[in-house]
Amino acid sequence: MTPKSATARACANVALVKYWGKRDPELNLPATGSISLTLAELTATATVARAEAGEPRFRQDGRVVEGTPARRMEEFLDLVATRFGEDPLSVRVVADFPVAAGLASSAAIFAATAAAGAAACGGRIDLVDLSALARRGSGSAARSVFGGFVEWSRGDRDDGADSVATPLQGVGEWDVAMAVAVVNEGKKDVGSRDAMEHVARTSPLYPGWLAAQEDDLSAMRVAIARRDLERAGTIAEENCLRMHATAIAARPPVLYWAPPTLEVIALVRRMRGEGLRGWFTMDAGPQVKVLCAGADLDAVASRLAEIPGVSRVIRARPGPGVAILEGPCPWT
Ligand code: PMV
């Protein structure tokens, strides 16, 4: 059957217990589990259609994407087409946030592309299985299939069938938020894919990172179930700093922080002392995401915006899982 076009939207997610290292790079199988929060304000919309001969297969925000990102997306589109027995596919992505700057853009993009691809092929797939498919594009995309708090399991199987995401707590069940301080909208130096491979290979701290993950995962599950923000925030900060410590200790070191990153960290700690509670986390980039109570989001965001190196602050709330905007829904 000739695929029709279909459109899906997915939100980015920010990990509170990070994915950092793989047990299988080919299948994007993580060395440990991870837990994240999906964010409504950071979305990517993907429209997938049959590829026209000679036409570029990946456009983003109206521009043709080239080089490694294009190759990666083409491989992913081929995987989706093969799964549903279809001709080669192409995708047009529109993202509403700075791409490749450590704002988890790839998670939203690959989750939306997986869903739109399945729909364009007229395929059937349930959401857990869709998370395994999205994972092949970018590990963290597995988590963007679901809304709210999400856990992505390490899994034990060699084929990765059990390395899937599942929802922990839906949107609306806990009024939390994230203020995202954007300190540099340029492209990052080392992508998370290369960095985690380099860190796993060269950082003497990496074994310690792996050893500590299980405790953080179980403590975070309990904190979320109890809606204990202080506990969840504390674990998230520690987990993030431990991840960055492995990167700083790699040879050569990978250092994602810019001066305003540290200024935001210092401010968040100072605010806590004053009674305005927030907890920071950073991914493979200099941006700082601050977890806080929904009621404190405006106050926290205003304070972060006062730092001169912060170019803008995105006020984000828990967001939904992937949705089909146009085309047949593969999972209902
Ligand atoms: O999905 P990737 O390959 O972009 O890796 C994401 C890695 C981190 O953002 C640093 C952590 C995480 O769990 O999202």
Provide DSSP, 263-301. HHHHHHHHHHHHT--EEEE--SSS-EEEEEEGGGHHHHH
Cis before 252? omega within 30:
yes
Q: For all residues of the chain together, what is the average pLDDT?
A: 95
What pLDDT score was predicted for residue 219?
Answer: 98
| Mutation pick for ligand 1 pocket among 140, 187, 188 (CB with most ligand atoms within 8 Å) | 140
Q: What is the pLDDT of residues 37-70, one digit of tens each?
A: 999 999 999 999 999 999 999 999 999 999 999 9
Contact 107, 140 (CB under 8 A): yes
What pLDDT score was predicted for residue 307?
Answer: 97
How much distance in Å is there from the Cα of 3 to the middle of ligand 1?
Answer: 31
Helix 192-202 crosses helix 229-248 at what angle (to 10 degrees)?
A: 70
How much distance in Å is there from the Cα of 284 to the middle of ligand 1?
Answer: 7
Q: Taking the mean position of all CA atoms in its chain, how far away is CA 329?
A: 23
How much distance in Å is there from the Cα of 15 to the middle of ligand 1?
Answer: 8
Q: Which atom of ligand 1 lies nearest, measured to the CA of 107?
A: 1
What pLDDT score was predicted for residue 104?
Answer: 66
Q: Which residue has the higher pLDDT, 191 or 101?
A: 191
Q: Which atom of ligand 1 lies nearest, measured to the CA of 139?
A: 1
Q: What is the pLDDT of residues 63-109, one digit of tens each?
A: 999 999 999 999 999 999 999 988 999 999 999 876 545 576 899 99
Alpha helices in 164-258 (DSSP H): 192-202, 206-225, 229-248
Q: What is the pLDDT of residues 307-322, one digit of tens each?
A: 999 999 999 999 999 9
Contact 46, 82 (CB under 8 A): no
Query: Using a 6 Å CB cutoff, which residues line ligand 1?
Result: 15, 18-20, 34, 104, 106-107, 138-140, 192-193, 283-284
Percent of the chain with pLDDT over 70: 95
In the DSSP assignment, the letter for residue 210 is: H
Task: Determine the 3-state secondary structure of 259 from DSSP.
Answer: helix
Q: Which atom of ligand 1 lies nearest, measured to the CA of 141?
A: 1
Which of 190-194, 232-236, 249-253, 320-324 shows the lowest mean pLDDT across its residues? 190-194
User: Which residue's CA is the closest to the ligand 1 atom numbered 8?
Assistant: 283
Mean pLDDT in residue range 278-282: 98
Q: Which phi and psi (to 5°) does residue 205 adopt?
A: -90, -10
> Both ends of the chain: CA-CA distance in Å?
21
Mean pLDDT in residue range 218-240: 98
- Domains observed in the chain: 5-170 (3.30.230.10), 176-316 (3.30.70.890)
Report the sign of the C-alpha dihedral through residues 47, 152, 28, 101, in that order. positive
Report the sign of the C-alpha dihedral through residues 22, 80, 110, 165, in that order. negative
